[in-house]
With several copies, the nearest count.
Chain A
């Protein structure tokens, strides 16, 4: 089984259909593709927001995502996966992050996508700053994201 891995950090938006096509084309062993897209909402914790700015740690961000992609591939029988994380200024309704997983079986595709998202939220070095009527402020990490990531740690 060949596994194709794509990891990108970019300012530009992504095209889910194109990314799915890139992951699945020329092969007929994939039975399930799960995509997760994270989208900028116009409220955060009840307060209206005008935009987000995403900052990241170049070099480490790619290294962390690659490490978790390798963990996902060792833990689930995946045909391929794609992680795209945008940085820079993002408006409500715009895409922030894309995770795609492809497998022969749906359970593996679902679990690997959830695992990657939980780890992106808590371990990948990205930070969100929000713009609202009250000015700009850094979004605080949420305890339940840590809890979500912790469920993948083997006890």
Chain B
């Protein structure tokens, strides 16, 4: 599945997007955050405060307990500050 990062999540990880293949036991958005955070220091830094991370699956906001199976695109970003 494709993962996208925005704002300071993107800056900390150092990339805009990537394709990942998480193991089968990574079932929810929260699981995916934990799994990504263990990859290296950049990811750990980006996801150090999971509480403030927002997520979207296929362009719709989701909570951390949302299931990721079937997702084409998952995005992680900080709270939004548009408008």
Direct A–B contact present (CB less than 8 angstroms): yes
Residue numbers of A with Cβ under 8 A of B are: 38, 54-57, 59-61, 63-64, 85, 96-97, 106, 117, 120-129, 138-141, 145
Contact B77 A125 (CB under 8 A): yes
Given the contacts A125-B6, A129-B7, A57 and B77 also touching, CB distance less than 8 Å: yes
Q: Kindly state the separation between the CA atoms of A141 and B83 in the bound complex, as whole angstroms.
A: 11
Across the interface, do B60 and A125 meet the contact criterion of CB distance under 8 Å?
no
Question: What does DSSP make chain A's interface, helix, strand, loop or mixed?
Answer: mixed
Which residues from chain B sit less than 8 Å from chain A, CB to CB? 4, 6-8, 56, 59-61, 75, 77-83
Cα separation A63 to B58 with both chains bound (whole Å): 10
Q: Which residues of A contact B6 (CB under 8 A)?
A: 55, 57, 125, 127
Bound complex: CA A55 to CA B7 (Å): 7
The total of interchain contacts (Cβ-Cβ below 8 angstroms) comes to 73
Measured between beta carbons, the chain A residues less than 8 angstroms from B60 are 60, 63
Within 8 Å CB of B75, what residues of A?
57, 60, 125
Closest to B4 in A: A57
A63 CA to B59 CA in the complex, in Å?
7
If the complex has contacts A57-B75, A121-B83, are A127 and B7 also in contact, measured as CB distance less than 8 A? yes
Task: Please indicate which of the listed interface residues A56, A61, A85, A138 has the most CB atoms of chain B within 10 Å of its own CB.
Answer: A138
Complex-state Cα separation, A45 to B8, whole angstroms: 19
CB-CB under 8 A from A106, the residues of chain B are 83
Q: Are B80 and A124 in contact (CB under 8 A)?
A: yes
**A139 with B80, Cβ < 8 A, contacts A60-B56, A129-B7 known:** no
Residue in A59, A85, A140, A145 whose beta carbon sits within 8 Å of that of B59 in the complex = A59
Known: A57-B6, A127-B6, A145-B83; 19 extra A-B contacts, CB below 8 A, are A38-B83, A54-B82, A55-B7, A57-B56, A57-B59, A57-B75, A59-B59, A60-B60, A61-B82, A64-B61, A85-B82, A106-B83, A121-B81, A123-B80, A124-B80, A127-B7, A127-B81, A128-B81, A138-B7
